[in-house]
């Protein structure tokens, strides 16, 4: 946690663990592609704002799910 702003900042190792033990290069690629927000750089080290990550995850969570009306009808006899 950053004492000045009260924000929790995640270093690269915590980011890798957060997203399933991915490599730090994967975090770099996702950041370059705009999937993750750009990090804060402090003393040449990268940190991500946990609150910003959570907000982005909530925003994008439902995007890949089909809308309820787009779901196939799996009831027996439906054609």
Distance in angstroms (rounded) separating the CA atoms of residues 25 and 12: 10
**pTM higher than 0.85:** no
Strand 40-42 and strand 9-11: pairing?
unpaired
Strand partners, 10: 48
Contacts of 13 (CB under 8 A, 6+ apart): 24
Distance CA 69, CA 22 (A): 35
Going by DSSP bridges, is the β-strand pair 45-49/40-42 parallel, antiparallel, or unpaired?
Answer: antiparallel
pLDDT digits (tens, 9 = 90+) for 31-60: 999 999 999 999 999 999 999 999 988 887
Confidence at 20, pLDDT banded by 50, 70, 90: very high
């Amino acid at each position: 946690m950053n004492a000045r702003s009260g924000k929790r900042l995640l270093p690269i190792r915590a980011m890798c663990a957060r997203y399933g033990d991915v490599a730090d290069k994967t975090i770099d690629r996702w950041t370059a592609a705009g999937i993750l927000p750009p990090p804060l750089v402090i003393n040449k080290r990268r940190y991500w704002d946990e609150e910003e990550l959570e907000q982005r995850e909530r925003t994008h969570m439902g995007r890949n799910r089909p809308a309820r009306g787009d779901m196939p009808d799996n009831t027996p006899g439906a054609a």
